[in-house]
Amino acid sequence: MSVTTRFAPSPTGRLHVGNIRTALHNFLFARKHGGRFLLRIDDTDRERSTAEFDQAIRDDLEWLGLRFDDVVRQSDRFALYEREFEKLKAAGRVYPCYETPEELELRRKVLLGRGLPPVYERKPEGSPVPEGVAPHWRFKLDHESPIAFTDLIRGEQHFDPKLISDPVIRRADGSWLYLLPSVIDDIDLGVTHIVRGEDHVSNSAVQKQMFAALGAEPAAFAHEALLVAAEGKLSKRLGSYGAEHLRDEGVEPMALLSLLARIGTSQPVEAVASLDALAADFDFSHFGRAPAHFDPHDVELLNAKLLHHLEFDDVADRLPEGASEADWLLLRGNLARLDDYADWQPVLDGQIDKPVLNRDDRLFIHDAWAVAGAIDWSDEPWRALTEGLKEKTGRKGRPLFMPLRLALTGRESGPEMAPLLARIGRERAIHRLDAISFD
Spatial separation of the C-alpha atoms in residues 98 and 274, rounded to whole Å:
53
pLDDT of residue 112: 87
305 is in an annotated binding site: no
pLDDT of residue 237: 46
Residues of the chain above pLDDT 70, percent: 92
Burial class (CB in 10 A: 0-12, 13-18, 19+), 115: exposed
Q: Which residues of the chain have pLDDT under 50?
A: 9, 11, 232-237
- Predicted local confidence at residue 7, as pLDDT: 60
What per-residue confidence (pLDDT) applies to 223? 95
Q: What is the pLDDT of residue 186?
A: 93
Distance CA 384, CA 57 (A): 57
Across 396-419, b (16+ Cβ under 10 Å) vs e yields eeeebeebbbbbbbbbeebbebee
pLDDT in tens, 103-135: 888 988 988 888 888 889 898 887 888 888 899
- Please name each of the domains of the chain with its CATH number: 1-259+273-284 (3.40.50.620), 312-349 (no CATH), 359-437 (1.10.10.350)
HSE (side-chain half, CA atoms, 13 Å) at 311: 4
